[in-house]
Chain A
Amino acid sequence: MSTSLRPVLSPPETELSPELLRKLHELMVKGRLLEERLMQMYRQGDGYFWIGGPGEEAFNVPLGLLIEKGRGPQYDYCHFHYRQSATLLAMGADPIDSLRMMKNTATDPYTGGRNFSGHYSIREWNVVPISSPIEVQYAMAPGTAIAQKRIAGGRGITIVTGGDAGTAEGDFASCLIWSSRPANPLPVLILVTNNKWGISTHWQGQHGEKRISDRGKAFGIESKTIDGNDPEICYRELRGAMEYVRSERRPFLMEAIVSRLYGHSSASGANRVNDEADCLQGFEHRLEERGLLTRAQIEELRARFAAELQEAHRKVRQEPMPEGRTIFDHVFSDRDLVRERP
């Protein structure tokens, strides 16, 4: 069976508008400060464990802005991993809810205090529950894409994200195979944020493939590796790849090389590393050079968000914790929520 594909259009080289660049920057700052606040909460005992994605904002923010957000197969399904708080912010999530999840309060709208920080779940936006195994989302993604492929004229796609280490698991191969079956190729945007680490183990000693994206080629999947530290490249490349998946109803594999600025999680100390590129710093230099933002404006932005997060933290501290007797709630559902009309 033929696997010949229409060529992917290169994303236009046109400059992103100043408004969009400022928006990207604002959300990246917000995402970074949110993660810093969450780490601080951990250190102050307002949470048992921190894990997140500081250093991946240049990729996560454009992704969040480009997602067609909504409920049901007409919209994008998001099978994320636990380093994407910046994507959620870009989609419109309220930062205080991330603090609630960190502190596992009863008010945590995502899990009700049941899961770790960064483990979002929002049915209203098709964000399926994020779980700690690093690979299972790749196995689930084809399922939502099968449902989307069936909709005549549908443009909703399935977006799945994982890290480089997780691609060693069989579920990543499952995703490549199931998305590219000649019997039914699927509209899945398969994303890998390659931060070069699996906890303490470096990529180089474990992976013989030169690029993770090379693995897509064997399946006839359009594949690309991009600089995940440049938000302009990420925005353009994601937009191009998404348009391809939306219109061709076929998979696309994108690997983004990103930085891990605070290690794996609180389990490894969550200390700032100095030998990795900081996407936010690099972007701010560029915006200053182009005269789009001044240092004073950047500092003002930071101060404002920092104060907002500090206030949110204070508020969350006062909120109730879940009661032990609620453990039996929601083992089974009485309602078929996913089949109810939006």
Chain B
Amino acid sequence: MSNMVQAIRMALHVAEERHGVTDIFGEDVGPPLGGAFTATQGLKTAWNSPLDERGIVGASIGLGLAGCRNVAEIQFCDYAFNAIDLLKLGGMIHWSSNGDWNCPMTIMTPVGSGIRGSIYHSHSFDATATHIPGYKIAIPSTPKDAYGLLLSCVVDPNPCFFLVPKALMRVRAQPGEEIPGEPGDDKALSKLIDAPLGERSQWKPQWPDTPDLFIPFGEARTVRPGRDLTVVSYGRTLPLCARAAEELSREEIEAEVIDLRSLHPYDWERIAESVRRTGRALFVNEDTEITNFGEHLLRRTVEELFYELIAPPRLLAGAHVPGIGLADSLEMASVPQLPSITEAIRSLARIEP
């Protein structure tokens, strides 16, 4: 059963074999390394670029304009900030030309905390990405979703952000969540598609026969049904929300957990339907809390569902501090963790109107 980086690799293989992807590129993306997180090992169209994020985004736009489907990686989203105006430019090609041009491109970048990455390898990008109109934005929390969302990105005629939660890259799929065609045995899959350590110039992957699986943008997934409150999350915090909900069921609190998966377009219908049933809503993500995407969802909840709420809706997000400190205690205090999520669900469930 694959982990998320292996799922990404398999999706990119399918993308270059069957969906016309001509370039998968960025810093250390090509051989010998195949990506800082190994997500691009063994791919025939992967190549190394100069250490130049503006150049990477610019080349991605140019390739897109020339009709070349491409996946450009920013090695860590922390390094995408010097390319913000180029990212904005990509998002306005179709609009500014009044519909004459389009620009197929996928910007793939690891996001978030969880690897003790300190100040410059822990940033989130969801608040920034959702603030750039013109992009479709995916953020998976399982290997299968990563596979299906990435394939949706590469065939889309518009610019897409594919945000990869670093903390979940090595997490394996749950039983029943495997990608069709992948070997069930971890070691067998590793032998097929993981590059050997050390010398690997002669190595070639053997790709399992995996299908075209497109998870559409704007379709959230209900991870766990529940009657008492609605928890909406994505990325690293999603599995923590699911675990917290599981634990709280012992206290007879039944939380419904929704994995948003796609931040733009996003599945408002599913959120609204759930909140109408439960009357309580908690939004959880780890980007800094001021001008946070969860705030947008919370605003719509208040504006559109106010009279159906039993308790004030709540956002649990990252502290509004410039970075995530390296020490374990600092990282734990900066972004939502299992205890703070559990407590947020519990306290919201217990508010009496």
A→B interface (CB under 8 Å): 72-73, 77, 79, 108, 110-112, 114-115, 119, 121-123, 128-129, 131, 133, 136, 138-148, 150, 158, 170-171, 174, 177-178, 181, 183, 329-339
Contact with A along B66-101 (1 / 0, CB 8 A): 111100000000000000011001001111111111
Contacts A139-B54, A139-B58, A336-B104; A331 near B65 (Cβ below 8 A)? no
Contacts A332-B136, A333-B158; A147 near B66 (Cβ below 8 A)? yes
For this complex, 7 residue pairs linking A to B, each with C-beta atoms less than 8 Å apart, are A110-B97, A110-B98, A111-B98, A119-B96, A331-B134, A336-B102, A338-B101
* Contact, CB under 8 Å: B67 / A178: no
* Contact, CB under 8 Å: A330 / B94: yes
Chain A residues contacting B150 (CB-CB under 8 Å) are none
Chain B residues contacting A131 (CB-CB under 8 Å) are 89, 92, 96
* Contact, CB under 8 Å: A330 / B66: no
* Contact, CB under 8 Å: A338 / B102: yes
Contacts A123-B97, A335-B102; A136 near B66 (Cβ below 8 A)? no
Chain A residues contacting B68 (CB-CB under 8 Å) are 143, 146-147
In angstroms, how far is the closest chain A Cβ from the Cβ of B27?
13
Chain B residues contacting A143 (CB-CB under 8 Å) are 58-66, 68
Chain A residues contacting B49 (CB-CB under 8 Å) are 178
How many angstroms between the C-alpha atoms of A332 and B157 in the bound complex?
8
In angstroms, how far is the closest chain A Cβ from the Cβ of B23?
7
How many angstroms between the C-alpha atoms of A72 and B100 in the bound complex?
14
Select one of B55, B86, B94, B103 contacting A331, CB under 8 A. B94
* Contact, CB under 8 Å: A145 / B62: yes
* Contact, CB under 8 Å: A338 / B66: yes
10 closest A-B pairs by beta carbon, nearest first, are A143-B62, A139-B58, A112-B98, A147-B66, A333-B102, A330-B99, A336-B157, A174-B55, A143-B59, A121-B97
How many angstroms between the C-alpha atoms of A336 and B101 in the bound complex?
9
Chain B: which residue is nearest A138 at the CB level? B58
Select one of B57, B59, B92, B100 contacting A122, CB under 8 A. B100
In angstroms, how far is the closest chain B Cβ from the Cβ of A112?
3
Chain B: which residue is nearest A184 at the CB level? B47
Chain A residues contacting B198 (CB-CB under 8 Å) are none
* Contact, CB under 8 Å: A147 / B99: no
Contacts A131-B96, A133-B89, A177-B55; A140 near B102 (Cβ below 8 A)? no
Chain B: which residue is nearest A337 at the CB level? B102
Chain A residues contacting B322 (CB-CB under 8 Å) are none
* Contact, CB under 8 Å: A330 / B98: yes
In angstroms, how far is the closest chain A Cβ from the Cβ of B118?
25
Select one of A114, A140, A147, A170 contacting B98, CB under 8 A. A114
Instruction: Give the one of B52, B69, B134 with max A CB within 10 A.
Output: B52
B181 is an interface residue with CB less than 8 A from chain A: no
* Contact, CB under 8 Å: A146 / B89: no
Chain B residues contacting A73 (CB-CB under 8 Å) are 66-67
Select one of A77, A128, A177, A334 contacting B52, CB under 8 A. A177
In angstroms, how far is the closest chain A Cβ from the Cβ of B78?
18
Chain A residues contacting B47 (CB-CB under 8 Å) are 183
* Contact, CB under 8 Å: B97 / A329: no
How many angstroms between the C-alpha atoms of A131 and B67 in the bound complex?
20
* Contact, CB under 8 Å: B67 / A147: yes
Chain B residues contacting A150 (CB-CB under 8 Å) are 22
How many angstroms between the C-alpha atoms of A181 and B55 in the bound complex?
12
* Contact, CB under 8 Å: A178 / B99: no
Select one of B66, B101, B158 contacting A121, CB under 8 A. B101
Chain B residues contacting A79 (CB-CB under 8 Å) are 62
Report B23-58 residues with CB < 8 Å from chain A CB: 23, 47-50, 52, 54-55, 57-58
Instruction: Give the one of B49, B86, B98, B102 with max A CB within 10 A.
Output: B98
B133 is an interface residue with CB less than 8 A from chain A: yes
Chain B: which residue is nearest A169 at the CB level? B54
Chain A: which residue is nearest B100 at the CB level? A123
Chain A residues contacting B67 (CB-CB under 8 Å) are 72-73, 147, 336, 338-339
Chain A: which residue is nearest B83 at the CB level? A139
How many angstroms between the C-alpha atoms of A336 and B67 in the bound complex?
8
Chain A residues contacting B134 (CB-CB under 8 Å) are 331-332
In angstroms, how far is the closest chain B Cβ from the Cβ of A190?
13
Chain B residues contacting A121 (CB-CB under 8 Å) are 96-98, 100-101
* Contact, CB under 8 Å: A139 / B55: yes
In angstroms, how far is the closest chain B Cβ from the Cβ of A252?
18
How many angstroms between the C-alpha atoms of A129 and B86 in the bound complex?
13
How many angstroms between the C-alpha atoms of A112 and B97 in the bound complex?
8
How many angstroms between the C-alpha atoms of A193 and B181 in the bound complex?
56
Chain A residues contacting B94 (CB-CB under 8 Å) are 330-333
How many angstroms between the C-alpha atoms of A169 and B96 in the bound complex?
23
Chain B residues contacting A77 (CB-CB under 8 Å) are 62, 65-66
Additional pairs, 13, CB under 8 Å, beyond known A331-B95, A338-B103: A112-B99, A136-B85, A139-B55, A140-B58, A140-B86, A140-B89, A141-B62, A143-B68, A144-B65, A147-B62, A171-B58, A337-B100, A339-B104
Contacts A177-B55, A178-B55; A140 near B101 (Cβ below 8 A)? no
Instruction: Give the one of B47, B102, B104, B133 with max A CB within 10 A.
Output: B102
* Contact, CB under 8 Å: A338 / B65: yes
Chain B: which residue is nearest A115 at the CB level? B96
In angstroms, how far is the closest chain A Cβ from the Cβ of B32?
14
Chain B residues contacting A147 (CB-CB under 8 Å) are 22, 62-63, 66-68
Chain B: which residue is nearest A158 at the CB level? B62
Chain A: which residue is nearest B155 at the CB level? A336
Contacts A133-B89, A338-B101; A174 near B54 (Cβ below 8 A)? yes
